[in-house]
Structure 1
């Protein structure tokens, strides 16, 4: 396939358009698009099958991250008020929830564990980065990151489609058939002329 427009230009224009998605009153995390956009190409490129795998895995990962934040908000001091006690509690929560996330990866629909971690990391960056229509609200962060991650496969598809690819045709009239090479016969072969 030959691109009528260079992929580098098309992808850069699309990347630039994400500024309008993030730079509005909703304060959405446009970088979350890039996470799943790259994930689409890591899976082999834009296709409905790859998009569906990401659309299932990323929200699942974001949901596990949401659980960690909610537990932390309600039970951060369960082991004590000091920083070490809080760190121990946080480590315990991450151990349990992260283990659950990885076990859920045994379900066929959610078997794309790296995709779940894309959503997991995107959620934390959204929540702790103060993004979303209600910064600091764990549920707002979840809605915003799931929406932005969902756009990544769409942008990946557009980055290929908007190059307006055309199939390359081979020019068969210019090519001449190759002349078969003459087989040489061994010196002592009975068909070989002598003399």
Structure 2
């Protein structure tokens, strides 16, 4: 059986392609791909059921972070503009929204809570890091981070698929991605 390039080389080539994503006029957060990529392996590897769970969980987490950002933008000084007032408001908002996130994780669709936190943290880093084509718009950051996080499982799948030996025909235990990405 002919062998392709080693997985380490394939993964590095794919990682290098993210330089082109972040260098566009859209100023997308390429590092968010790596969050989803690593999360894919942490959740069990690039298999369709794992990928679907992440594709549901990461945007949900980003949405909860968006809610916090919007509430803080509009009502962040409701308890005062000083340190104690704004910090107390932020703590209350995080308490309420994070509790909702955690309860949402009890549902089957959003049960991969770490995936929600990947999206949650990525959203804050995208918005406060000034990523997206309009760095002051939280909705632009939200769209940008959801797109980039979603590419992570795709990159994980590609890394496995491209590293497979030529002529691989798959086996019964290959799961939903027969003849494609498989973790040994």
Q: Any gaps of 5 or more consecutive residues in structure 1?
A: 169-195
Other-structure match for 2:103:
103
1:164 Cα deviation from its structure 2 partner: 3.0
Using the alignment, how far apart are the partners of 2:96 and 2:154 within structure 1? 33
Matches within 5 A, 1:1-195: 3-165=3-165
Change (3 A) 1:70 1:48: same
Aligned residues: 168
1:5 Cα deviation from its structure 2 partner: 1.2
1:2 Cα deviation from its structure 2 partner: 8.6
1:10 Cα deviation from its structure 2 partner: 0.3
1:30 Cα deviation from its structure 2 partner: 0.3
Q: Any gaps of 5 or more consecutive residues in structure 2?
A: 169-184
1:166 Cα deviation from its structure 2 partner: 5.2
Using the alignment, how far apart are the partners of 1:51 and 1:112 within structure 2? 11
Q: Report Cα offsets for 1:11-58 as digits up to 9, x if no partner.
A: 000000000001010000000000000011111211111110000000
SS class of match (1:109): coil
Change (3 A) 1:111 1:3: farther
Q: What RMSD in Å do the two structures reach over aligned CA positions?
A: 1.5
SS class of match (1:108): coil
1:167 Cα deviation from its structure 2 partner: 7.7
What stretches of structure 1 move > 4 A for 4+ residues in a row? none
- Pick the structure with greater CA Rg: 1
TM-score by length of structure 2 reads: 0.88
Using the alignment, how far apart are the partners of 2:39 and 2:2 within structure 1? 24
Structure richer in helix, relative to its length: 2
